[in-house]
Structure 1
Amino acid sequence: MRLIRLFRMAAVVLVFALALSGCWNRRELNELSVVLAMGVDKVDDEYVVTLQSVDPTQMSRNRAANRSPVVTFTQRSETIFEALRKVTTKASRKMYVAHLRLLVFNEKAAREGINDIVDFFARDHEFRPDFYIAIAKDANAQELLELTTPTEILPAMELYKSLKVSQEAWAPTAAVNIIDFLQKITKTGVEPVLTGVTVIGDIKKGKTLGNVTRPKSFSEFKYVGIGVLKDDRLIGWLNESESKAYNYVTNNIKSTVGIVGCPDSDKKFNVEVILSRVNVLPSIRDGEPYAQVKMKTEANLAEVGCDVDLTKEEEFLKLQSAASEQLYDLLFDSITRVQRHYGADIFGFGEAFHRKHPRQWHQWKRDWDRYFKEMQVDISIDYKLRKIGKMINPLDKAEKE
């Protein structure tokens, strides 16, 4: 009897062991092609989908020097999902998209509306929601993803890292991932933005390996300003200064550089912004929306072309005042232009009203575009210059002394 029980227990353990021995939907690495970047171009009424995937043979130390580290596949179809499946007619491996770093689509797609595109990428379970989104400006996404790049072995990683670093160190770009985009496109009181990227130079030569074998590349990519969207449609572009102002107001500035005119001459000096904090204070005046943008900024002197004596406090304060005024003009002009020209609340003023004045917001939200265009926005800046570097006075003035 005891022996029978042992046999039964062993049989149960064996059955469970067989059930847990593997995954029913496993996929071997040698059957997959890892996709790092994807481009979607709207052509007529169809999508041209371009995939940039890693060539696994080029990821080893003994890789061949005459082969590209990535392979691009392009397929055209009425839907993105069908185009992805059609790629298997050109590739021996199934596309694996969980490691996607960048999604790019052309201006035609952006101006006609990208809800359908984003819906697919947000809905499909294989895509992780941490990749960045950008718009190919004056270029096609296919051309961009076929470009070879000099710094990183994988072009997609260079595009990904450049977007991230440029927002942190320069600021006229916006590193927007799909979660950020979905949050803004589904909220009331704030409109989404996306960074533009273009290709400059000889695009045909830029697709060859010769593009990375010389000090100056034949062709290269460049991030160019921020695109303003209304709902899911691109309606225009911010220039470099306006893009920087957008990042100031939305608290996306970690570090950037500002060029300021000298107080008493036509020369310039540079400041390195090391701290920027903005509070948007919404209120109601005479039944109309009113917002105050309160900013605290700290910066260091970088280049000084002015004829100044920095040992004198009054001259140092003149530079500080000039930098503050320049930043005020930048913010005021940019906010005003977005209000008058686009009428799209990319700064999130409506969202601020929604939080502080929810009852009043429900009366305004259906006509918020009009309220936003006419709303008064006041700006106050607490600007401090901190460090002046290793030298006190400019070199030419020090030589005279």
Structure 2
Amino acid sequence: MNGSARRSGMGLVLALLVASSIGLTGCWDRQEVNDLALVMGAGLDLSEDNKLELSVQIFVAKQAGDQQGSAGGGSGMSSGTAKEQTTVYTATGDTIADAATKLQELLPRKVFWGHGEVFVFGEQLAKHGITDQTDFLMRHPGPRLGAFVFVSKGKAKDVMARPSQLERNISEGLREMAKSQTGLRVNVKELMQMLKSDAGAEALPLVSINKRNPESNQSPFISGTAVLKDGKMVGQIDEYTTRGIMWLRNSVKESVITFKPAGSNGFVSAHLNRSKVRLIPSIRGDEWSIRVQISSEANLIQNESGLDPLEPRQANRIQEGLNDEVSDRIESALAEAQRKMDADIFGFSDTFRRSYPKQWERVKKNWSEKFPQVRVDVSSDVRLKRPGFSGK
């Protein structure tokens, strides 16, 4: 009887455990995709009354018709094509969090930031300062640290409302342009690291819309670099000089350079790969200097110069012209950022800090004054490895 009672008691306990576990199955906090407003990208602008204007591109399951709405300083508009399947909503507030709260009032679905690909700061907001706004991107659990960051010429809202010619929407288009590294590539995490660094300067890719025909449906494109100091935009650098910035930041792995060799009548285009850059700092007394050593291999992909790359002397002229072109781009970047803007967007401060920690501690508070005085020596060693068939 005791054994039978014991087995009955154990069976009752097991039955109770099974019954109680039924209520624990499933996801109590699950969120269905159909209940979410998926943010693909966001534009941040400074409104006329110095408020924060937030424009988000929302993905919808099917083409939405023209939608209009307003609540708490917000509005919505369709992106306009069935291909994109996105709608842009705008709300205004004192901060991003405030604007996001008012944005939620416009939508029947819960705003979800986890799919965000890009964040675009408008030009006026960038000049006013972006440090306070990036605080939201780091503290809020929704935005992805790997999302790419841009500055737009004009309003970021106009960029978010544009279509993409090849991708489903402009957020995906900007993401792919960032990955292709035609310009600088910066994500949220890297931006925060720059804002907190001792250099006190930041560089972000600059996005433009066709100025000649602003009403056209041309996709926005990367047109250079926005330079910021202490989170405030102080200048712009064009596409040509941006390549020099990328060399100095060691972010060029391969590229195509077109130039005219000295004494020739035409252009030469070469594809550079296996590119590496070394920054070698030196301190001698009060003189601080950095030696920039560039190494790369080049494949000749077009030759209109009349020079024969299979003839050693003429091949050397092509190679010398190639090295001069790389050095010129770097010198152009230094002239803009170091001598005109006093902005260390190259990471020289980190280079000195690692190699000379004691000396760095003495100057880091006055780095903005020391940086323009740093002498930079550029040495380019690009070698023509594959001249190709000359056709002669």
> TM-score under structure 1 normalisation?
0.87
Find 2:168's aligned residue among 153, 160, 171: 153
Residue 126 in structure 1 maps to residue 142 in structure 2: yes
Find 1:88's aligned residue among 86, 98, 104: 104
- Secondary structure class of the residue paired with 1:361: helix
CA drift of 1:66 comes to 5.5
Aligned to 2:192: 182
- Checking the alignment, whether the CA contact within 8 Å between 2:170 and 2:219 is kept in structure 1 is no
- Checking the alignment, whether the CA contact within 8 Å between 2:43 and 2:55 is kept in structure 1 is yes
Aligned to 1:375: 374
Task: Determine the C-alpha separation between the residues in 2 that align with 1:252 and 1:67.
Answer: 33
Aligned to 2:390: 392
The runs of 5 or more residues in structure 1 that have no matched partner are 207-218
CA drift of 1:203 comes to 4.1
CA drift of 1:291 comes to 1.0
- Checking the alignment, whether the CA contact within 8 Å between 2:275 and 2:295 is kept in structure 1 is yes
Task: Determine the C-alpha separation between the residues in 2 that align with 1:202 and 1:314.
Answer: 48
- Checking the alignment, whether the CA contact within 8 Å between 1:143 and 1:203 is kept in structure 2 is no
AA aligned to 1:34 is L
- Checking the alignment, whether the CA contact within 8 Å between 1:228 and 1:235 is kept in structure 2 is yes
- Checking the alignment, whether the CA contact within 8 Å between 1:191 and 1:348 is kept in structure 2 is no
Task: Determine the C-alpha separation between the residues in 1 that align with 2:332 and 2:84.
Answer: 46
- The 3 A distance-change label for structure 1 pair 66 and 344 is closer
- The 3 A distance-change label for structure 1 pair 144 and 130 is same
- Secondary structure class of the residue paired with 1:86: helix
- The 3 A distance-change label for structure 1 pair 337 and 148 is closer
- The 3 A distance-change label for structure 1 pair 282 and 163 is same
Find 2:12's aligned residue among 7, 12, 19: 7
- Secondary structure class of the residue paired with 2:319: helix
- Checking the alignment, whether the CA contact within 8 Å between 2:91 and 2:102 is kept in structure 1 is yes
Report Cα offsets for 1:127-184 as digits up to 9, x if no partner: 22110000111x211111111222112232112112221x1xx4xx111000111112
Residue 55 in structure 1 maps to residue 67 in structure 2: no
Find 1:30's aligned residue among 30, 34, 37: 34
Task: Determine the C-alpha separation between the residues in 2 that align with 1:323 and 1:204.
Answer: 40
Task: Determine the C-alpha separation between the residues in 2 that align with 1:188 and 1:10.
Answer: 64
- Checking the alignment, whether the CA contact within 8 Å between 2:200 and 2:230 is kept in structure 1 is no
AA aligned to 2:9 is I
AA aligned to 1:24 is W
- Checking the alignment, whether the CA contact within 8 Å between 1:338 and 1:344 is kept in structure 2 is yes
- Checking the alignment, whether the CA contact within 8 Å between 2:122 and 2:151 is kept in structure 1 is yes
Report Cα offsets for 1:67-96 as digits up to 9, x if no partner: 851111111122212222222333221221
Task: Determine the C-alpha separation between the residues in 1 that align with 2:131 and 2:174.
Answer: 23
Aligned to 1:198: 208
Aligned to 1:315: 314
CA drift of 1:227 comes to 1.0
The runs of 5 or more residues in structure 2 that have no matched partner are 65-79
Task: Determine the C-alpha separation between the residues in 1 that align with 2:214 and 2:173.
Answer: 17
Task: Determine the C-alpha separation between the residues in 2 that align with 1:75 and 1:264.
Answer: 59
Task: Determine the C-alpha separation between the residues in 2 that align with 1:318 and 1:288.
Answer: 35
- The 3 A distance-change label for structure 1 pair 78 and 189 is closer
Aligned to 1:223: 222
Aligned to 1:70: 86
- The 3 A distance-change label for structure 1 pair 26 and 66 is closer
Residue 136 in structure 1 maps to residue 152 in structure 2: yes
The percentage of aligned residue pairs carrying the same residue is 25
> TM-score under structure 2 normalisation?
0.89
Task: Determine the C-alpha separation between the residues in 1 that align with 2:83 and 2:331.
Answer: 51
Task: Determine the C-alpha separation between the residues in 1 that align with 2:159 and 2:34.
Answer: 27
CA drift of 1:388 comes to 2.1
- The 3 A distance-change label for structure 1 pair 92 and 341 is same
- Checking the alignment, whether the CA contact within 8 Å between 1:190 and 1:349 is kept in structure 2 is no
Task: Determine the C-alpha separation between the residues in 1 that align with 2:45 and 2:200.
Answer: 26
Matches within 5 A, 1:205-354: 206=217, 219-354=218-353
- Checking the alignment, whether the CA contact within 8 Å between 1:282 and 1:292 is kept in structure 2 is yes
Task: Determine the C-alpha separation between the residues in 2 that align with 1:199 and 1:327.
Answer: 28
CA drift of 1:322 comes to 1.4
CA drift of 1:58 comes to 4.9
- Checking the alignment, whether the CA contact within 8 Å between 2:199 and 2:368 is kept in structure 1 is no
CA drift of 1:276 comes to 1.4
